Amino acid sequence: MSQRIALITGASGGLGQAVARKLAAGGWSLLLVSRQADRLAEAYGADHLQIEADCSTVDGARQIFEHANVHGRIPTHLAHCVGNIRLGALHRMKEADWHACLDANLGSAFHTLAAFVGNLREARLPGAAVLVSSAAARIGTPNHEAVSAAKAGLEGLVRAAAATYAANAIRINAVAPGIMDTPATTHLLNNAALREVTARQYPLPGIGDPNELAELMAWLLSDQAARVTGQVWSLDGGFSTVRPLVK
């Protein structure tokens, strides 16, 4: 079998790096995207094809595939790991923060997925994508209004696109984690008391590990998930569906 090619966006981030490690260990060829080339070089040295682009814009997303195609590498699989966490009560959220949240979490997903499926259709290839939502898209969580709205939009995008492109044998799914230990949450988990309180909010107490989510994402991209599309898979210690037992 020829080597499978996966595109990872947000590859400089905590989850992006975990997915890259997992797929590389499985023999995948990787295309890695960040808005800053030096962040990729710092994380990966000279390994893999590295692309500097801003996938939250239409042009930036298109550039990724032009670059990949020039190198003769058509990505048939996508792990979209871009996002940010802008927390704050609705009445206090600044317009700039709202737009930054939408661009990072929903705009990037929309434009990257559009360019990905467009490229696959031109090449007449099947493929699979996995995007990243959040537990907060499913359950009301204080101060998460902006990110909940953006991630709920992402989940709608995943279901609609899965329906549209099933006929092209392109599978599209999402994962929905609770809080994970990554650079995005350093400010939320930077002392033992905060970590303890946060961990206890989960019916299965704890802080998520991006390597666990990477396992699930790799499975969704694999042929073992060949019959799975249009799904949102939670990995949140029961946070979005189970009430903890209060003693």
Ligand X SMILES: NC(=O)c1ccc[n+]([C@@H]2O[C@H](COP(=O)([O-])OP(=O)(O)OC[C@H]3O[C@@H](n4cnc5c(N)ncnc54)[C@H](OP(=O)(O)O)[C@@H]3O)[C@@H](O)[C@H]2O)c1
Contact positions toward ligand X, by CB under 6 A?
Answer: 10, 12-16, 34-36, 39, 54-56, 81-84, 103-105, 108, 132, 134, 177, 179-180, 182-185
| Nearest CB to ligand X, comparing residues 169 and 215 | 215
Q: Which is nearer to ligand X, 79 or 120 (CB)?
A: 79
User: Given the complex with ligand X, which of 229 and 240 has the nearer CB atom?
Assistant: 240
β-strands 49-52, 232-235 pairing:
unpaired
d(C-alpha 71, C-alpha 183), whole Å? 31
**Which is closer to ligand X, CB of 125 or CB of 139?**
139
Give CA 247 to chain center in angstroms: 36
- The token pair that represents 96 in the structure block: 């700039």
CB 125 within 8 A of CB 7: no
Instruction: Give me the least distance between CB of 227 and ligand X, in Å please.
Output: 25
CB of 224 to ligand X, least distance (A): 23
Where would I find the beta strands (DSSP E) of 135-239? 170-177, 232-235
209 DSSP 8-state letter: -
Three-state SS at 71:
coil
- Residue placing its CB nearer to ligand X in the complex, 150 or 162: 150
Residues 6+ apart with CB under 8 A from 16: 8, 9, 10, 32, 79, 81
* Closest distance of CB 191 from ligand X, Å: 16
Burial class (CB in 10 A: 0-12, 13-18, 19+), 57: middle
| Partner residues linked to 127 by β-bridges | 170
In whole angstroms, the minimum distance from the beta carbon of 77 to ligand X comes to 17
Which residue's CB comes closest to ligand X?
13
In angstroms, give the least distance from the CB of 73 to ligand X: 20
Closer CB to ligand X, 104 or 157, in the complex? 104
Helix (H, G, I), strand (E, B) or coil at 239: coil
Q: Quick one: 177 or 237, whose CB is closer to ligand X? A: 177
- What's the closest the beta carbon of residue 124 comes to ligand X, in angstroms? 29
Tokens of 69: 């195609």
Report the nearest approach of ligand X to the CB of residue 231 (Å): 17
Q: Taking the mean position of all CA atoms in its chain, how far away is CA 5? A: 17
